[in-house]
Amino acid sequence: METYTTPKTKPGASCVLALGCFDGIHVGHKAVIDTARAKACELGVSSAVWTFLEPPKNFFAPNSAPTITDFKEKQRLISDLRIDFFFCIPFDSEIRDTSPEDFLEKYILSVMDVKHIVCGFNYRFGKNAIGDTKLLSDFCSSKNIGLTVLPPTTVDGKIVSSSLIRSAVEKGEVEYAAKLLGRYYSITFIVTDGQALARKLGFPTANGSLPDNKLLIRKGVYASRVFFSGEYKYGITNVGIRPTVNGKRLCMETHLFDFSGDLYGQELTVEFLSFIRDEVKFDSLDAMSEQIHKDIEKAKKLIK
């Protein structure tokens, strides 16, 4: 998959284009992207996805829509969907002030030879987000471009949306979030030095800080699956400030089952499988150690 982070690069190929914000690449987004790829195969042209690096809401109110998937995650997930070209463009003041028609002309048609567009029912674009699927339909008709607008995707009777996923993750409802995403919510971080306290208690952990602007999950302990060095391992992950040892900084600690080795400096992707309990302050390290034993046993039962 060829990736572009500027709208002024032209791949020089006819394509079917999927348009959307695509934060999360959830099951509704996948329906749009899969439809675009299928249409591209039907027409014998390339497939492409055009999206923003972050939700445009963050341009107007920083961190108002914490990212569900950062750039690397989006790139990997869209590549997995077998797309040929991926445009991931920063939202800026120039795009903010561009009319819907000029947005399509300047940022889409001047970059790609678009034969067909696919988007969701609620796609909005252009200055003040006044562009909608009706305007897009009229524009495509005038340019002899095909258009497919997909209806909403629902799960358990609710329309799947990024805001619904954010709410679920922030509440620690990771199993529900997984149904909406089509995969487990995950956070990727680089392992850094910790206090080695967990190792002394018999539970060595891989520690790291949470990425900036990433959607924060509810503080607590989770059953988790961790990807690193090309393989998966199961474990438990604590997200919080470690109040028992007077911690102040929000961080992640992951204990891997049946693993020994040095992970310092490695990149780990933690998938959150199930919420076990809230983070609490224990009266002693012995009490904390006893609870961690229980957490591990519960997590092992959950992942069987």
The CATH number covering residue 254 comes to: 2.40.30.30
So what's the pLDDT on residue 114?
94
In whole angstroms, what is the distance from residue 87 CA to residue 74 CA?
11
Number of domains forming the structure of the chain? 2
Same domain flag for 153 and 261? no
Same domain flag for 143 and 243? no
Same domain flag for 150 and 6? yes
Same domain flag for 143 and 237? no
The whole domain housing 44 covers: 2-157
Identify whether 166 is part of a domain.
no
Same domain flag for 263 and 220? yes
| pTM of the model as a whole | 0.89
Same domain flag for 67 and 193? no
Identify whether 90 is part of a domain.
yes
Pick the closest to residue 165 from 35, 272, 48 (CA basis).
272
Query: CB-based contacts of 36: which residues, under 8 Å, 6+ apart?
Result: 16, 17, 18, 47, 48, 49, 83, 116, 118
Last residue of a domain, one of 122, 157, 192: 157
| Tens digit of pLDDT at every position of the chain (304 positions) | 889 988 777 666 899 999 999 999 999 999 999 999 999 999 999 999 999 988 888 888 888 888 999 888 999 999 999 999 999 999 898 999 999 999 999 989 988 899 999 999 999 999 999 999 999 999 999 999 999 999 999 999 999 999 999 999 999 999 999 999 999 999 998 888 755 555 555 567 788 888 888 899 999 999 999 998 888 999 999 998 877 766 667 889 999 998 877 788 888 999 999 999 998 888 777 888 888 889 999 999 888 6
The DSSP H or E segment spanning 301 is: helix 285-302
So what's the pLDDT on residue 132?
95
